Structure 1
Amino acid sequence: MLEEFVKRFEKLGYDGQTEIQKAVYQPMIDGGEDIVGLSPTGSGKTVAFLMPILANIMAGQGTQALIVEPSQELAMQVTNIIRDWAGPFNVKILPLIGGANVKRQHEQLKKRPEIIVGTPGRILSLLSDRKLKVNNVETVVVDEADDLLQDDSLEKVRQIVAAVPRDAQVAYFSATDSEILYKLEDVMGKPARIIDVRDLDKSRGKVQHGQFQVSRGKRNDVLNRLTKLTNFKALVFFNQQTELNRAFNYFKHQGYAQVEKLSGEENKMARERALRNFRKGQTKLLLTTDVAARGLDIPKLPAVINYDLPKEANTYIHRVGRTGRMGEPGLVINFGDDHDLRDLKKLLRDEEYDLQPIYYFRGKLVDHVEEEEIEKLKAENAPKKKVLPEVKGTKASAKKTRYRKIEVAENVVQKPRKKNRKRNQKNKGYHKK
Structure 2
Amino acid sequence: MAMTMRDGIRLHWRLEGAADRPVLVLLNSIGTDMSLWDRTVPLLLSAFRLLRIDTRGAGGSDAPEGDYSLSMLADDVVAILDDVGVERAAVAGVSLGGMVAMQLALDHPARVSALALICTSATMDPAAWQSRIDTVRAQGTAAIADMAVGRFLSPGFVKHHPEVAASLRDGIVRQADAGYAGAGAAIRDMALAHRIATITQPTLVVTATLDISTPYAGHGEHLLSIAGARHVGVDGAHLPPIEAPGALAAALRTFLCGDAAANTAADTLFEAGLRNRRRVLGDAWVDTSLAKRTPFTADFQAMITRIAWAEIWGRPGLDDRTRRLLVLAITCALGRWEEFALHVRAGLREGGFTTDELKEVLMQTAIYAGVPAANTGFAEAQKIIAMLEQDA
Q: Same fold (TM over 0.5)?
A: no
Interval of TM-score (by shorter of Structure 1 and Structure 2): under 0.3
* Greater C-alpha radius of gyration: 1
Q: Which has the higher contact order (CA 8 A, sep 6+)?
A: 1
What is the TM-score when the length of structure 1 is the normalising length?
A: 0.25
What is the TM-score when the length of structure 2 is the normalising length?
A: 0.26
Larger relative strand fraction: 1
